[in-house]
Amino acid sequence: MKPPNSKLCSIVSSRFEMSASTETSDKKVNANPTQASTNIPYQRAIYSRRQAEQYSKNCHKQQITSLCMSTSKSIEISIFLYVKEVVQLRPSPRSFLLKHCHLHNGILQLQIVQRIITHDKNGAGWSSLLANCKTISTLEVFRKNVTHYNQYPPQTTKIYSYFECRGGKFEDVCFFGLQYVLKRWMVGCVVNHQMIDEAKEFYKKHFTGLDVFNENGWRYIVDYHKGRLPLRIKAVPEGSIIPYKNVLFTVENTDPKVAWLTNWFETLLLQVWYPITVCTSSRYHKILIAKYLEMTSDSSDSLPYKLHDFGYRGSSSVESAAIGDAAHLVNFYGTDTVAGIRLCSKYYGCSMAGVSIPAAEHSTITSWKRENEVEAYRHLLQQYPNGLVSVVSDSYDLYSCVEKIWGHELKELVMQRKHHGCVIIRPDSGDPAEVTVKVLEILAKHYPCRMNSKGYKMLPDYLRVIQADGVSYESMGNVLEAMKLAGWSAENVYFGTGGSLLQRVHRDTLKCAFKCSFVIVDGEERPVFKQPITDRAKTSKKGRLCLNYSKDGHYETVELGRGDQQMDLLDVVFENGVLLREQSLDDIRSRAALSLRMNGFCKRVDVGIISLLGGIFQRCSISRKDYPFPPLEEPDLEEKFVSGHGPGGQNVNKRQNCVFLRHVPTGLSVKVHEDRLLQRNRIIARVRLQEKLDQLLNGENSFLALKAKELKQKSLKAQWKRRKGREMKRLAKERQQQMLLAGEPSAVDNLTNDQQPDDHLD
């Protein structure tokens, strides 16, 4: 059967085959150009595999070379080859296109094809048409700020804005996602006169006849800047861990005639809130798991695979799934969201960012009928005799399945994987903490378990459990704490998360904001800020901003242009339509990595030893385990269980799981309602009360005081090292410049390739 757009396919193919002398073929193609146009402005070009192969054969190198040489380097050629899957170009023409052109994932505009067919009556020609073609939707470039350009003071020549996370759920944020937005929407030629014509007509209708669109401003960008955006964006390296209330990137115009352009892109650039929030949330999941691995396990090797992304089907769109999963893949390697892997490959240079394993779902088990449940599992293990395989086991009776099927009938088949992989049992209903512990206890009755060096139970290496039922940051903590209290190592369990990680977030999760802080009007520099009396937390920053290390070794945003520009942690990543610094996923992962101390040696997983209490993450070497806390005698304690108070009212706080604990001899008291599990709240309440009693008795020598002192000393030491390193680097550069001016070879020039310093790590 002939593809629906076979006429369009033949037109596009013939254009690649055309030469200057083939006027007859042009007339033949142009015989009925209206057949290639529709009322829809963009439509994908659909190819069969045979036509795609024929197309790749006809891509003559000489013709494409002349085409590329006759246009700017920003030429963009992008044709998706479709039937049911994307058909890739053959290696030789594809590699040539990638070398000379910026290949996008895009959509071929039918109007462009129409103008190619008619040889462009305005005289633009084939090459100029391609040079002006950007494979994005026409109206995507023009954001909501369409009416703001004439609201600024007259003679405004500079607008400078910044992005920050003002607070929210987590204390630190992991910066990620800006490079995707820039490469997807802002790099290269992004606007042409045709797009301006369409936008002008659109906004005239949208504003019911008002002419509010800045046509002259955009035509100036097309004519003077060749459709490239005269903007400069400075940002921290992606993967950096920055405390909230610090600037993460800044945007300013580079052409004084288009100052309005800076905040025109607010809506687009502000959308980095989503990858930042998901990446930060995923990282805190990782810290939580690392904390329990440190306490209960001998190894952290499995940490990068402990949280698996199942959120594709629960995402609002394919693109949001791709962006969210890519953010998750900064911290973990496990995912079933292949859209995120493709995004990492295309925009972050990682060919395979995530891995997965064969897994059953309920339909593949229940389709065998209940009486054949054991045969369904047996068939699955036989289909995948080696490696890892995940088996959902709660289709009917979870505990009976674990006891009878996994514990007896299929025990030998499971144990055969002793040297060939692992069976991962997945409960998918009930209370996650209770169910996980009970499944582990049943398995322990039938399989040989062992104790690790920290005194926690371990299943054999060929058997594990994965909990993926409604997993969130809070429920994961409940599961891990319940396992610890029951004597099980965190190494026995994996987690899967779906909608909670990718969808249970919004812009105010981290309170992300994009604000203007500096303008130049008629030559006068003006700091700009807002300070609403109704919400002081929304006060914005003033003037030009720098991100420096403060004297106490912490990040600090310096306002009003007073920061040290040489030590500014914001680097130029985008300028005048060009991406100046491209970052790979490997580099980003390295910056976002953790370090976990296991058995006396430090393993690269985050910086420092991780301890968690009450949701506050701290890094220190003082061991709570070894500190002599004053004992709490149960007869001295007065304990009450009350209903919690807070958002949700009676529909949520029906259970009396809030703990009020009072130490009668001293009158010290604490109130804890951090978890839905009463037992966990009781444990936390005793820890908090013990710390208060310790502070009362020991003062400056108490555990919390000693820990604070150590953290301060470490911060000062780290600050001194960083300052010393920067000073040495500056002196080395000065010496090198002096040697170059004197005509002498520098020390770096005399090094071999193996001795060259890794500047990209600085």
User: Is the model's pLDDT at 583 over the cut of 90?
Assistant: yes
User: Is the model's pLDDT at 651 over the cut of 70?
Assistant: no
Q: What is the pLDDT of residue 121?
A: 40
Least confident stretch, 97-106, 193-202, 396-405: 97-106
pLDDT band at 691 (very low <50, low <70, confident <90, very high): confident
Question: Who wins on pLDDT, 699 or 195?
Answer: 195
Least confident stretch, 112-126, 308-322, 600-614: 600-614
- pLDDT (average), residues 371-395: 94
Q: What is the pLDDT of residue 58?
A: 52
Q: What is the pLDDT of residue 559?
A: 93
Q: What is the pLDDT of residue 93?
A: 38
User: Is the model's pLDDT at 617 over the cut of 60?
Assistant: no
Q: Which tokens in the block code for residue 27?
A: 């007339």
Tens digit of pLDDT for each residue in 516-555?
999 999 999 999 999 888 888 788 999 999 999 776 778 8
Instruction: Give residue limits of the domains in the chain.
Output: 6-135, 634-701, 705-761
Q: Which long-range contacts (CB under 8 A, 24 or more apart) does 32-38 make?
A: 33/114, 33/117, 33/118, 35/7, 36/7, 36/8, 36/11, 36/110, 36/113, 36/114, 36/117, 37/110, 37/111, 37/114, 38/110
pLDDT band at 733 (very low <50, low <70, confident <90, very high): confident
Q: What is the pLDDT of residue 711?
A: 81
User: Is the model's pLDDT at 283 over the cut of 80?
Assistant: yes
Question: Who wins on pLDDT, 595 or 291?
Answer: 291
CA pair distance 487, 506, nearest whole angstrom:
37
Q: Torsion over CA of 193, 196, 202 and 206, rounded to 10 degrees?
A: -160
CA pair distance 170, 134, nearest whole angstrom:
38
Residue 451 burial (C-beta neighbours within 10 Å; 0-12, 13-18, 19+): exposed
- pLDDT (average), residues 245-259: 96
Q: What is the pLDDT of residue 370?
A: 94
User: Is the model's pLDDT at 94 over the cut of 70?
Assistant: no
User: Is the model's pLDDT at 625 over the cut of 90?
Assistant: no
Residues comprising the chain, all counted: 762
Tens digit of pLDDT for each residue in 658-679?
888 888 888 888 888 877 777 7
User: Is the model's pLDDT at 515 over the cut of 80?
Assistant: yes
- pLDDT (average), residues 733-739: 78
CA pair distance 736, 746, nearest whole angstrom:
6
Q: What is the pLDDT of residue 97?
A: 36
Q: Which tokens in the block code for residue 733?
A: 């550069």
Question: Who wins on pLDDT, 128 or 324?
Answer: 324
Least confident stretch, 198-207, 355-364, 643-652, 680-689: 643-652
Q: What is the DSSP letter of 757?
A: -
Burial 360-370 (b: 16+ CB within 10 A, else e): beeeebeebee
User: Is the model's pLDDT at 49 over the cut of 50?
Assistant: no
Question: Who wins on pLDDT, 509 or 139?
Answer: 509
Least confident stretch, 246-250, 629-633, 646-650: 646-650
Q: What is the pLDDT of residue 729?
A: 78
Q: Of 71-80, 115-124, 324-333, 719-728, which has the strongest mean pLDDT?
A: 324-333
Q: Which long-range contacts (CB under 8 A, 24 or more apart) does 192-201 make?
A: 192/132, 192/133, 192/134, 192/222, 192/227, 193/132, 193/219, 193/222, 194/111, 194/132, 195/134, 195/138, 195/141, 196/222, 198/41, 198/138, 198/139, 199/138, 199/139, 199/141, 199/142
Q: What is the DSSP letter of 664?
A: T
> Tokens 């003071």 sit at which residue?
153
Question: Who wins on pLDDT, 474 or 39?
Answer: 474
User: Is the model's pLDDT at 445 over the cut of 80?
Assistant: yes
Give the H or E element holding residue 579. strand 578-579
pLDDT band at 225 (very low <50, low <70, confident <90, very high): very high
Least confident stretch, 27-31, 398-402, 642-646: 27-31
- pLDDT (average), residues 292-319: 94
pLDDT band at 595 (very low <50, low <70, confident <90, very high): low
Burial 623-658 (b: 16+ CB within 10 A, else e): eeeeeeeeeeeeeeeeeeeeebeeeeeeeebeeebb
pLDDT band at 199 (very low <50, low <70, confident <90, very high): confident
User: Is the model's pLDDT at 623 over the cut of 50?
Assistant: yes
Q: Is the dihedral of CA 467, 292, 612, 284 positive or negative?
A: negative
User: Is the model's pLDDT at 504 over the cut of 90?
Assistant: yes
Q: What is the pLDDT of residue 5?
A: 43
Least confident stretch, 13-22, 228-237, 470-479: 13-22
Q: Which tokens in the block code for residue 574?
A: 């985008």
Q: Which tokens in the block code for residue 726?
A: 């920067």
* CB 274 within 8 Å of CB 505: yes
Reference 570, options 162, 256, 245; nearest CA is 162
Question: Who wins on pLDDT, 63 or 540?
Answer: 540
Q: What is the pLDDT of residue 332?
A: 97
Q: What is the pLDDT of residue 620?
A: 41
Q: Round the average pLDDT of the chain to a whole number and report it.
A: 77
Least confident stretch, 99-108, 462-471, 625-634: 99-108
- pLDDT (average), residues 430-452: 94
Give the H or E element holding residue 730. helix 703-741
Reference 277, options 327, 347, 322; nearest CA is 327
Q: Which CATH number fits domain 634-701: 3.40.50.10490, 3.30.160.20, 3.40.50.300, 1.10.10.10?
A: 3.30.160.20
CA pair distance 68, 77, nearest whole angstrom:
10
CA pair distance 566, 552, nearest whole angstrom:
19
Q: Going along 601-757, which residue ranges are E strands?
A: 601-603, 611-613, 616-618, 637-642, 658-663, 669-672
CA pair distance 559, 407, nearest whole angstrom:
64
Angle between helices 215-225 and 193-206 (to 10 degrees): 170
Question: Who wins on pLDDT, 701 or 109?
Answer: 701
Of the CA atoms within 13 Å of residue 738, those in its CB half-sphere come to: 6
* CB 296 within 8 Å of CB 491: yes
Q: What is the pLDDT of residue 373?
A: 95
Share of the chain above pLDDT 90, in %: 49
Least confident stretch, 110-124, 256-270, 344-358, 477-491: 110-124
Question: In DSSP terms, which residues pair with 519 in a beta bridge?
Answer: 159, 526
315 CA to centre of own chain? 15
Q: What is the pLDDT of residue 1?
A: 41
Tens digit of pLDDT for each residue in 113-135?
344 334 334 434 333 333 344 43
Q: What is the pLDDT of residue 677?
A: 73
